[in-house]
Chain A
């Protein structure tokens, strides 16, 4: 089946530092990946859509200079939280969209990254 990994699974950092989160599709190619944010006991909110080889599309209210997204290959997208602050603490989840006969445009989720900013 389709597997999406995220690294790290958990990260604690000091306020003002930057943190990079990787999202990889392990056994399929994903031209599109999505980044979501989940606050405690709340739903997933789409942050941005990441397309391989082009700039990400950010949802309204999401600061693109704060949350840098790079999708340099068909199997890897990265989210960098720049100058992180405690309010950025959250659960970040990526999903990768499969294409072709394998699973028509279905999305597969990574296990998530718990970011805690002190």
Chain B
């Protein structure tokens, strides 16, 4: 079945460092791809999404490009802040079929000042 694999954490960075969190997927159809963020003690928030190949999702300085050829959707940010410390989940879903999201295991990001 469909699955998502993302890099193991935790990722520890200093403020203003460059962030990359790798995510690859396996899917039989043409899924939409998502990044969700979960701050301590809170629920999930959609960070960004891309619905087709070569789309770039972006929000709050984060970016990810849907790469069909490498089946990847890596999350990047040029300069992280302490407030970005959270758990990041890569996920996929078939929006057309309305299927449930399939999540990666999550990557914990810790940013220090």
Contact = CB atoms under 8 A, between A and B. Distances in A.
Interface of A: 6, 32, 34, 41-44, 46, 49, 93, 95, 97, 99, 104-112
> Which 8 residue pairs across A and B have the least CB separation, nearest first?
A111-B43, A112-B43, A109-B44, A105-B98, A105-B95, A43-B105, A43-B103, A34-B100
A99 B36 CA distance: 20
Interface residues of B, number: 20
7 contacts: A34-B100, A44-B103, A97-B98, A106-B46, A108-B46, A110-B43, A112-B43
A43 B106 contact: yes
Contact of B100 (A46, A108, A110, A111): A46
Interface string B40-52: 0011111001000
Contacts of A41: 106, 108
A95 B44 CA distance: 10
Interface of B: 36, 42-46, 49, 89, 93, 95-96, 98, 100-106, 108
A86 to B, nearest CB: 21
Contacts of A105: 95-96, 98
